[in-house]
Amino acid sequence: MSEKCDQNCEGCSAGNSKNTEEKPDFSAQPHELSNIKNVIGVLSGKGGVGKSIVTSMLAVAMKNMGYNTAILDADITGPSIPKIFGLQGRARGDAKGMFPVKSITGIDVMSVNLLLENVTDPVVVRGPLIAGTAKQFWTDVIWGDVDFMFIDMPPGTGDVPLTVFQSVAVDGIIVVTSPQELVSMIVSKAVKMAEMMNIPVIGLIENMSYFRCPDNGKDYKIFGESHIDEVAEKHNLRVLAKLPVDPKLSEASDRGTIEFYDNEWIEPVAKILEEMGEMR
Ligand code: ADP
């Protein structure tokens, strides 16, 4: 900061004023025993497009590349991460804070479903409490050393995910879409939200893009033509991956065996995240 700076940015042309691109810091501090290097928020326009499964696959890919990886399940009213990883146990805590539950391969997970006595209990909470719970997962959980944390955001591009973004120091956003959605509108909203927070959109992932017929190897666009490339170009964004509808994937997610699902599509995305992490 300039020695002459009087903190009054109006009319000031200095490059270090509040009017510049300096990232506004609304975020709470993570737990003192957490050291989290890269935080990636995974967003979608609505529920059911595969946000949780994409979050899980990204975490598995980064773990397979040798990184300490974690998932903060901020989808408080629809927490599906523990099921996708087949996590049975309950999260425990001590006087210092709560501990995440480790998956088979060592991915650390915290989710409301790891705190409930009965996982079929509905989580009936309103917006501010959703954001408050996600924030607590950030501030009160002892994550330890994490290279890549993925946040499974509450669905939508409204107030609730925005409040979560404001509480947690997210470094980049990945937007998951599907061909049957109003992709243009969702991406515009996500981009605006990211701009408000001064967080970069890393790129878009189109899920359920096509179905590859095992009998003839042909791809069928069962949910209609995709508009993802045009939308990405309009916003100057990257399409990171197009994932097929794969019955083996839904089976892995239902059985809690996502860590053993052979995933060739998400690996290039993991490489991009690795490069991003190295540049920071
Ligand atoms: P969201 O988090 O967006 O609500 P999920 O990740 O929970 O969505 O996915 C919703 C359902 O769709 C899950 O049962 C999941 O297994 C299934 N699913 C998602 N993507 C695919 C896919 N590409 N192929 C097959 N099933 C999928």
Here the CATH number for the domain that contains residue 243 is 3.40.50.300
Residue 223 lies in a domain: yes
Residue 15 lies in a domain: no
Q: Which residues line ligand 1 (CB under 6 A)?
A: 44, 47-53, 80, 155, 207-208, 243, 245-246, 249-250, 253
Q: How far apart are CA 86 and CA 84, in angstroms?
A: 6
Q: How far apart are CA 1 and CA 9, in angstroms?
A: 12
What is the residue with the minimal CA distance to atom 9 of ligand 1? 50
Test site for ligand 1: of 42, 52, 53, most ligand atoms within 8 A of the Cβ: 53
Q: How far apart are CA 189 and CA 192, in angstroms?
A: 5
Mean of the per-residue pLDDT values for the chain?
Answer: 86
Residue 4 lies in a domain: no
Residue 99 lies in a domain: yes
Each residue's pLDDT tens digit, 122-156: 666 666 677 788 899 999 999 999 999 999 999 88
Q: How far apart are CA 56 and CA 54, in angstroms?
A: 5
* pLDDT value for 197: 85
Residue 156 CA, ligand 1 centroid: distance in Å:
16
Q: Which atom of ligand 1 is nearest to the CA of 84?
A: 16
Residue 130 CA, ligand 1 centroid: distance in Å:
22
Structure tokens given for 228: 């993802």
Overall domain count for the chain = 1
pTM of the model: 0.88
Structural domain harbouring 108: 35-279
Each residue's pLDDT tens digit, 235-277: 999 999 999 999 999 999 999 999 999 888 899 999 999 998 8
Structure tokens given for 217: 């190897």
CA 146 to chain centre: 15
Each residue's pLDDT tens digit, 26-59: 568 999 999 999 999 999 988 889 999 999 999 9
Residue 29 lies in a domain: no
Residue 91 lies in a domain: yes
Residue 26 lies in a domain: no
Residue 85 CA, ligand 1 centroid: distance in Å:
14
* pLDDT value for 13: 42
Residue 100 lies in a domain: yes
pLDDT at 4 over 50: no
What does the angle CA 149 – CA 166 – CA 276 come to, to the nearest 5 degrees? 40
